[in-house]
Amino acid sequence: MFDNVANTEYMVHVKERINRLKQVHYIAAIILFVITLGFCSFYASDLKLTNISLSHFGIYKEIGFFWNASLFVIGITLFIEAILNINKYMPKSWLMYLFIGSVICLLLTASINMSYPIHYYFAYTYFIGYTSSIFLFGFFLMKSDLRMGITSIIIAIASVICPLAVLMWVHSFALPELTHTLFVFTWVSITKFDTNYRNFLKRFGL
């Protein structure tokens, strides 16, 4: 009996460590992206975010490798988070394939620079595919988890409207791309720390 209790406690401890590792991995990936963006913006001072797309960093002299590598890390992170979210909220849903397909397009965007026209097709497919995935995720989740469902739908809609509004204002792609990325990170953060998010909403009676 004592052996069973010890084994159970050990498995709980291992599970907690794995969960912490997942959180650290996600946070580290975001920090890496922010640092890389700052480094590339500083190093390539002649490239202004108001005049370029982020893909220009990928073909800029020595920093191209660092930018594409950070984008690849973000792609892997989104890939992992998509699988975790589907398994957590709606196991065995076909929606996982839409998430994975979208992330693969992001990885291909990082692997093929903007010198090749197909780069743009992969980038657009990721933008449309991942945004649609978040929207459908929220739509299907509303039946079992109204808070997370509505939140996902709002984020998906905002991740389209806000970048388009920014695009009309600056007439370049870098800032709209960053705006969309911010909403994606926000959605992943909310689904990862969903208990904290629910407690936050409850404070306002939601």
Tens digit of pLDDT at every position of the chain (206 positions) = 544 544 455 444 445 555 565 566 778 778 888 888 888 888 887 878 888 888 888 888 778 888 888 888 888 888 888 888 888 888 878 888 998 899 899 889 888 888 888 988 999 999 999 999 999 999 998 888 888 899 999 999 999 999 999 999 888 888 999 999 999 989 988 888 877 778 787 777 76
DSSP 112: S
User: Of 140, 148, 156, which Cα lies nearest the Cα of 96?
Assistant: 140
CA distances from 8 to 4, 15, 20, 160 (A): 6, 11, 18, 46
- Closest listed residue to residue 124, CA positions, set 98, 100, 105: 105
Closest CA to 194 of 144, 128, 159: 144
DSSP H or E run through 118: helix 118-141
Domains contained in the chain, number: 1
Closest of 29, 82, 106, 31 to residue 188, by C-alpha: 82
CA distance 103 to 181: 13
pLDDT at 3: 47
Can you tell me which residue has the tokens 């892997």? 76
For 40, the domain range is: 2-202
Look at residue 131 in the predicted model and tell me its pLDDT. Answer: 94
Cβ contact 159:184 at 8 Å: yes
| Predicted local confidence at residue 29, as pLDDT | 79
Identify whether the C-beta of residue 45 lies closer than 8 Å to the C-beta of residue 60.
no
Look at residue 67 in the predicted model and tell me its pLDDT: 86
